[in-house]
Each structure stands twice: as structure tokens, then as C-alpha cells.
Structure 1
Amino acid sequence: MWSAAERQAYANDLDDRRSLLAVHDSANQSKADRDPSQWMPPAATATCRYISDRVTVKTRRGLSTDPAEHAAIQRITAGCDNPAITAPRVSRP
């Protein structure tokens, strides 16, 4: 669980465009706190970018994945072009 300072740092992270993405309220509510094993964007064209951005944010923030999420990421990325992801770690507040 993140501290208040960590949540604030994430919410204000403007150093990487992949940290926060503006979406319609209905899409945000549909996703809630589900990971890729439970939810993917409705537009198939957004799949690879969504996974790439998610992996980047998790890497930058030092977040883990559970086995179901990890398996879903591997399965989904098998159909992507697999571009290199650069994600320098963010220091924690």
C-alpha cells in the first residue's frame, strides 16, 4: 500500500507521458482496479500500448505483478511488435 506522499507523487508525475492517460469516465469505471488478467481496453488497437504503458509504470514505480497478471501480460504481448521499453526508476518520496 502506498503512503499519501507516494500517491501524490504518482498523481503528479508529469515526467513520463505513460504515467497518466486521460480516458472517459465510463472506461475508467469499467476498469476500476482490475489488472490485464481481468480487463483490457475495449478498442483492440489500444491493447499493445496499454500493456506497454502499464509495464513501464510498474517498472518505474517498482511495483510487482501477481501470477495471473504476469501470465496475461505475456499472452497479450505475444501479439505485439514488442518495442523496447525504457523506464528509469522513480525515487520514492
Structure 2
Amino acid sequence: MLHPRVGRCCSYSAEPEGRGTQGVAIKTRWKLAIDPSEEAALAENATRCPNVPIKVQLAR
């Protein structure tokens, strides 16, 4: 079983740069671009947060 804080570490609130799962959802929802350093940070975060579902509702 994962430590209870793992889910929190993967969330946007724990990632000031918006690199957690909620940050990914926001970027996806609004189709926002990311730069190469942000892409690298997102990829690194994803390896620490495997199998964390991300729900996205696209903006109209």
C-alpha cells in the first residue's frame, strides 16, 4: 500500500509550478503549451505518480 501522502504529492496543490496531476489537467483542459523544461518536469513527476488517474473536461 502506498503512503497516504503519495496522492497529495502528485496533486497540483503540492506542486507550485503546476507540475502535478491537477496541473496536467489544467494544461490539457485549456490546451496550454509547455516548454521543454516543464515537459521534463511533468515526465519526471509522472514516474513518481504511476497509475494516478487524471480527469479532464475540455474547455469549450
Q: What range is the shorter-chain TM-score in?
A: 0.5 to 0.7
- In terms of mean alpha carbon deviation, does 75-84 or 52-61 score higher? 75-84
Q: Where in structure 1 are there 5+ consecutive unaligned residues?
A: 1-43
Q: Which residue of 1 aligns with 2:11?
A: 49
Which residues of 2 match residues 6-21 of structure 1 at below 5 A?
none
Q: Which residue of 2 aligns with 1:68?
A: 37
Q: Where in structure 2 are there 5+ consecutive unaligned residues?
A: 13-19
Identity of aligned residues (%): 31
C-alpha RMSD of the superposition: 1.8
After TM superposition, the score normalised by the length of structure 1 is 0.45
Larger Rg, first or second structure (1 or 2): 1
Q: Specify the code of the residue in structure 2 equivalent to 1:57.
A: I
Q: Which residue of 2 aligns with 1:11?
A: none
Quote how far apart the aligned CAs of 1:47 are. Answer: 2.8
Quote how far apart the aligned CAs of 1:82 are. Answer: 2.9
Structure 1 residue ranges (4+ consecutive) displaced by more than 2 angstroms after TM superposition: 44-47
Deviation per CA, 1:30-77, whole angstroms, max 9, x where unpaired? Answer: xxxxxxxxxxxxxx8543112001000111111011110000110122
After TM superposition, the score normalised by the length of structure 2 is 0.65
